[in-house]
Amino acid sequence: MSSPKAAKSMAAKAAAATKSSVSKSSRKPAVVAKLKETATRTVAPKITTPQTGLSADAIKLASEIEQAFKKSDDAISEEAMQALMSALCRVYAAQVENGRQYTPIPEGQVVSPTGVMVTASGLLKAANLAVFELGMWQSWTGR
């Protein structure tokens, strides 16, 4: 039932499938390297030296906000939250652009994955950006 023409077609399809799987396997080392880089990226350093000036004030304010928030969801106004987030967003972006390599949340900080996603989503919405645009920017810049 099998004609020479059908056999030739099946052989061509098998060769194409083999070629496709070889090209996919050759991409695996790059993907693995990227995953390892992501998994081992630098995180914010733990505070090892006494903080002074504005840094000390910021750490104290963060602690006070956390304590007040435990008592009431309305501990900080929307305007105050927006002012703090705006300032921190600008400062973090400027530091990263100038070569600093740390994450905005220190290692061991208790922030739920949902909290991170809600915040990231809110920041994207406030800047009128979509997740697609974030993905494109990350692929262009490697960040």
CA atoms within 13 A on the CB side of 77: 3
Q: What are 130's two structure tokens?
A: 């979509």
Q: pTM to 2 decimals?
A: 0.59
**Whole-number Å distance between alpha carbons of 47 and 59:** 10
pLDDT per residue rounded down to tens, the chain (143 residues): 455 565 556 556 655 555 544 444 455 666 655 554 544 444 445 556 677 789 899 999 999 998 998 898 888 999 999 999 999 999 999 999 999 988 888 877 778 888 889 999 999 999 988 888 888 888 888 77
3-state secondary structure of 115: helix
